[in-house]
A and B are shown apart, each in its own frame.
Chain A
Amino acid sequence: MEYIMRRRCDSAASVPQLTNSPTLIVMVGLPARGKTYISKKLSRYLNWIGVPTKVFNLGQYRREAVQSYKNFEFFRPDNEEAMQIRRACATNALKDVVIYFSKDHGQVAVFDATNTTRERRISIVSFSKEKGYKVFFVESICDDPDIIAQNITEVKVSSPDYVNCDKDEAQADFLKRIECYKQSYVPLDDEKDRHLSYIKIFNVGSRYLVNRVQDHIQSRIVYYLMNIHVTPRSIFLSRHGESELNLLGRIGGDSGLSPRGHKYATALGGFIKGQHIKDLKVWTSHMKRTIQTAEHLGIPYEQWKALNEIDAGVCEELTYEDIQENHPEEFALRDQDKYRYRYPNGESYEDLVHRLEPVIMELERQENVLVVCHQAVMRCLLAYLLDKTSDELPYLKCPLHTVLKLTPVAYGCRVEHICLNIEAVNTHRERPGNVDVTRDPEEALKTIPEHF
């Protein structure tokens, strides 16, 4: 099949040139400056756009080496024994980075540690040079005591290190830990480090200093980091109300809402009002069913072509039974690799992700947003927000008439499922047992949801 044979080096889009050297991103900064938050978020984003990325968190290596954490004294600069352990941990982490790049086909590794001394950074740069990795530093600088206190409360107090302490003890100990690093902290220097590639983030993004961006992936990383924020907000994801074609079990198309779909739209309006959301932005696709849904909300909304449902090409408006009858081989191939499979004259989930990247970027910039979209589109957005793999993505459950409320918390996202209690058909087709092209029609149609 042609779509398998083509040479996929889809440059700059989802997957920049894979033939280039791997990139080692090195975090820099005192504790509680958001390094792990940035590491995890960046890694989630890069994986979603198709760049295999992994975070190597030094704290975790230390927790494995030193089974139980006593107190901040471990981090005292004059604690020789601890220093040795910490150095060994760093070495182990970098060893794992090598394995990740060479054996696991990783493309980007994020070395999440304080890396606050020039000495440590120099050794990482030599290490990378020797191995042929590109290095990009991400330094987070923050002197706002409120932000630091907030960080400590959100992620440190509940860390395994403080499992036997109460909140205040944990807070006090952590502040002393930070002091241990302060003495020897040497930030990236304008002059001395002018040959390094880096971004310095000041006070959670009010200012950035960017030096020597070397290539495409670093440019994308910089753009992403400059668009994220930590202002509390919620993202609401919902599909359009049930459509006429949904009722008939047909995929794609551009039909309007069914009577139940209209009911949902009204209920959605009521739900949104009840949430009392400040400055809510509403986004829809260009298709009738999302627009009709948004119309009921009584709020201004914006249409994005990028939010249109996946293009099923020759299979547009067919039922699964039709597809099995007319394109049985395609049907099987899709079940074999639902993420990469591209409908003839249509799109794949992989194409969708690429198409949705500007939507994600703008979602990051925005605050409270309700996105009224479609099943495949919602799966892609959800996969980004919940860090799902490309294998899981095409099978994420996004039923009609259900709103997902996502609220960033700590290092991830809290999800609330709100079913608005309006009946709708089920449009979720599980992967069947037999995905072979030789299978019988019944085996292919086994998991099809009911329809009229």
Chain B
Amino acid sequence: MWIFRKCLFLPIILVSPFSLPCAVCMTNCPTLIVTVGLPARGKTYISKKLTRYLNWIGVPTREFNVGQYRRECLKIYKSFEFFRPDNEEGLKIRQQCASAALNDVRQYLADGGQVAVFDATNTTRERRETITVFAEQNGFKVFFVESVCEDPEVIAENIVQVKLGSPDYTNCNTEEAMEDFKKRIKCYENSYETLDEVLDRHLSYIKIMDVGRRYLVNQVQDHIQSRIVYYLMNIHITPRSIYLCRHGESDLNVKGCIGGDSGLSPRGKEFAKYLRQFIQSQEISDLKVWTSQMKRTIQTAEAVSVPYEQWKALNEIDAGVCEEMMYEEIQQHYPLEFAMRDQDKYRYRYPKGESYEDLVQRLEPVIMELERQENVLVICHQAVMRCLLAYFLDKTAEELPYLKCPLHTVLKLTPVAYGCKVESIYLNVDAVNTHRERPENVEVSRMAEEALLTVPAHQ
């Protein structure tokens, strides 16, 4: 009766999304997050980031951007005049788009979605009232996220980063686009009714002021809203880069064994030296370096010669009974387990070990702190790096366990616009390949050769 998701295989008891057990909040009503704010206040940035985070921790979330609905409806954007408050036709179309979006929200939340982010200006009390009624009728909880910002520099920067490149302005030059967009904002300003401490005291919301300097939080109803507030209060937009890499090649890597706690091979030590040079060449201000508590990451950081912090949470996935085995040995001793892992690599939990899903839960505080920090180098492990990468690059649970994270390669991630720019820097020191692709045959009845087909070469 507690089962939220049916377990697929016997030995593995159900696994829980994020820190919470299966049924908490999942049996509760879905949540509708409603953004509020003038254009260029970061609503879409927040919507996308929040959606990415919630999906990563296992809460099915989708964003519904009304601007996109408008673009589909209108095909060609002419000018800001469309947004004039006295443009009857424009208003009608915008109203229809909002309704269409809400309709899709209803569909999504009925079909297994847990959180929907309704990304639009929603600047009038009237519009918000409509949404609240819609939510009540459908049994959704509502949580407003308002972004208030009067800093002209921040607004200008936003416009440059995400508006100028928008489909609306493909045929304009920069100045024209900027001018038009500023007039667009003006169209909303007169009718803008910010969330009010008194009038809206019964609503659940967070008001983010001046890009996070200040927050007003009102009537948080439940766990998911509390987590959303915590997340929103920890993100920032100060430019920075996150460097992800694995430890240098280890002795166990060379043998083709998984897990364990071995030291670096000679090539691994070589890599650590190159890593040091690379870091120095990047001339990064105030770089924080994080490692796990396993020898191979610590030894790598030691060679980089910068102060580093150890996180137990960054330890490699625990392979339980399969620790320190080669894939050939796993096939030999645990052929059933091996097949089941190939069937659902994300949820599969090694006996007495962990699953990728467990890893994500374990890594959540790391992600939260990464959001707070600025320049950070994380020296970790294959499965761990896959989880972190999946968060930054918005990869699904299906893709995550197969992301390519080769040894001796640094990934430099730089937030840009609504996403992340990735640069892959291979530091030119040979290493074994530790990436095992999903084999064709994942049946428990398969032959040993079929199982071992994709095992990478080792000594």
Partners in one complex: yes
Q: Which of A's residues lie within 8 Å of B, judged by CB?
A: 6-13, 17, 194, 206-213, 216, 219, 222-223, 226-227, 283, 286, 291, 300-306, 316, 345, 351, 354, 358-359, 362, 365
Residue of A nearest to B18 (CB): A358
Enumerate the 3 nearest inter-chain pairs by beta-carbon distance, A residue then B residue, closest first: A302-B21, A358-B19, A12-B369
Task: Please give, as numbers and ranges, the residues of chain B lying within 8 Å of A354 by CB-CB distance.
Answer: 312
- B6: Cβ under 8 A from any A Cβ: no
**B441 nearest CB across to chain A (Å):** 30
Contact pattern, B 338-369, Cβ under 8 Å of A = 1, otherwise 0: 00000000000000100000100100011011
Q: CA A42 – CA B143 in complex, angstroms?
A: 27
Task: Please give, as numbers and ranges, the residues of chain B lying within 8 Å of A286 by CB-CB distance.
Answer: 13
Q: Which of B's residues lie within 8 Å of A, judged by CB?
A: 1-2, 13-16, 19-24, 197, 201, 213-220, 223, 226, 229-230, 233-234, 290, 293, 298, 308-313, 323, 352, 358, 361, 365-366, 368-369, 372
Task: Please give, as numbers and ranges, the residues of chain A lying within 8 Å of B309 by CB-CB distance.
Answer: 9-11, 17
Q: CA A95 – CA B287 in complex, angstroms?
A: 36
Task: Please give, as numbers and ranges, the residues of chain A lying within 8 Å of B223 by CB-CB distance.
Answer: 362, 365
Q: CA A358 – CA B24 in complex, angstroms?
A: 13
Q: CA A223 – CA B323 in complex, angstroms?
A: 37
Q: CA A9 – CA B197 in complex, angstroms?
A: 42
Contact for A209 among B214, B219, B310, B323, CB less than 8 A? B214
Residue of B nearest to A288 (CB): B13
**B185 nearest CB across to chain A (Å):** 24
Q: CA A216 – CA B236 in complex, angstroms?
A: 13
| B19 adjacent to A210 (CB under 8 Å) | no
| A11 adjacent to B230 (CB under 8 Å) | no
| B19 adjacent to A362 (CB under 8 Å) | yes
Residue of A nearest to B229 (CB): A226
| B290 adjacent to A11 (CB under 8 Å) | yes
Task: Please give, as numbers and ranges, the residues of chain B lying within 8 Å of A227 by CB-CB distance.
Answer: 226
**A374 nearest CB across to chain B (Å):** 16
| B1 adjacent to A219 (CB under 8 Å) | no
Task: Please give, as numbers and ranges, the residues of chain A lying within 8 Å of B234 by CB-CB distance.
Answer: 219
**B370 nearest CB across to chain A (Å):** 9
Q: CA A207 – CA B202 in complex, angstroms?
A: 10
Contact for A210 among B15, B21, B217, B361, CB less than 8 A? B217
Told that A12-B366, A209-B214, A283-B21 touch, could you supply 11 new A-B pairs with CB distance under 8 A? A10-B309, A10-B310, A206-B201, A209-B216, A211-B215, A212-B213, A226-B220, A227-B226, A291-B13, A305-B16, A316-B352
Q: CA A302 – CA B233 in complex, angstroms?
A: 29
Task: Please give, as numbers and ranges, the residues of chain A lying within 8 Å of B368 by CB-CB distance.
Answer: 12
Residue of B nearest to A8 (CB): B310
Q: CA A12 – CA B365 in complex, angstroms?
A: 7
Q: CA A184 – CA B368 in complex, angstroms?
A: 41
| A303 adjacent to B14 (CB under 8 Å) | yes
A303/B216 contact (C-beta < 8 A), A9-B309, A213-B233 known: no
Q: CA A351 – CA B358 in complex, angstroms?
A: 16
**A304 nearest CB across to chain B (Å):** 5
Task: Please give, as numbers and ranges, the residues of chain A lying within 8 Å of B215 by CB-CB distance.
Answer: 208-211
Task: Please give, as numbers and ranges, the residues of chain A lying within 8 Å of B201 by CB-CB distance.
Answer: 206-207
Q: CA A357 – CA B295 in complex, angstroms?
A: 26
Contact for B22 among A7, A302, A316, A365, CB less than 8 A? A302
Task: Please give, as numbers and ranges, the residues of chain B lying within 8 Å of A207 by CB-CB distance.
Answer: 197, 201, 216-219
A305/B358 contact (C-beta < 8 A), A6-B293, A283-B21 known: yes
A304/B220 contact (C-beta < 8 A), A10-B312, A216-B369, A227-B226 known: no
Q: List 16 A-B contacts (CB under 8 A).
A: A11-B311, A11-B369, A207-B217, A208-B217, A210-B215, A210-B217, A212-B214, A226-B217, A302-B20, A302-B21, A302-B23, A303-B16, A303-B21, A306-B19, A316-B352, A351-B312
Task: Please give, as numbers and ranges, the residues of chain A lying within 8 Å of B290 by CB-CB distance.
Answer: 11
Residue of B nearest to A211 (CB): B214
Residue of A nearest to B355 (CB): A305
Q: CA A359 – CA B19 in complex, angstroms?
A: 8
Task: Please give, as numbers and ranges, the residues of chain B lying within 8 Å of A11 by CB-CB distance.
Answer: 290, 309, 311, 369
| A206 adjacent to B219 (CB under 8 Å) | yes
Residue of B nearest to A219 (CB): B234
Q: CA A226 – CA B215 in complex, angstroms?
A: 12
A304/B372 contact (C-beta < 8 A), A13-B365, A208-B216 known: no
Q: CA A286 – CA B352 in complex, angstroms?
A: 12
Task: Please give, as numbers and ranges, the residues of chain B lying within 8 Å of A362 by CB-CB distance.
Answer: 19-20, 24, 223
Q: CA A303 – CA B15 in complex, angstroms?
A: 9
Contact for B23 among A12, A213, A300, CB less than 8 A? A300
Q: CA A302 – CA B20 in complex, angstroms?
A: 9
Q: CA A212 – CA B236 in complex, angstroms?
A: 12
Q: CA A9 – CA B13 in complex, angstroms?
A: 34
Contact for A305 among B233, B293, B311, B361, CB less than 8 A? B361
Contact for B233 among A13, A194, A210, CB less than 8 A? A210
A304/B21 contact (C-beta < 8 A), A207-B217, A207-B218 known: yes
Task: Please give, as numbers and ranges, the residues of chain B lying within 8 Å of A7 by CB-CB distance.
Answer: 308, 310
**B260 nearest CB across to chain A (Å):** 10
Q: CA A227 – CA B218 in complex, angstroms?
A: 12
Task: Please give, as numbers and ranges, the residues of chain B lying within 8 Å of A206 by CB-CB distance.
Answer: 201, 218-219
Task: Please give, as numbers and ranges, the residues of chain B lying within 8 Å of A291 by CB-CB distance.
Answer: 13
Q: CA A174 – CA B102 in complex, angstroms?
A: 54
**A343 nearest CB across to chain B (Å):** 13
Task: Please give, as numbers and ranges, the residues of chain B lying within 8 Å of A301 by CB-CB distance.
Answer: 2
Task: Please give, as numbers and ranges, the residues of chain A lying within 8 Å of B22 by CB-CB distance.
Answer: 302-303
Q: CA A286 – CA B14 in complex, angstroms?
A: 8
Q: CA A11 – CA B368 in complex, angstroms?
A: 12
Q: CA A303 – CA B5 in complex, angstroms?
A: 12
Q: CA A17 – CA B369 in complex, angstroms?
A: 12
Q: CA A304 – CA B22 in complex, angstroms?
A: 8
Q: CA A60 – CA B244 in complex, angstroms?
A: 51
Q: CA A210 – CA B206 in complex, angstroms?
A: 10
Q: CA A154 – CA B213 in complex, angstroms?
A: 37
Q: CA A286 – CA B361 in complex, angstroms?
A: 15
Q: CA A6 – CA B14 in complex, angstroms?
A: 35
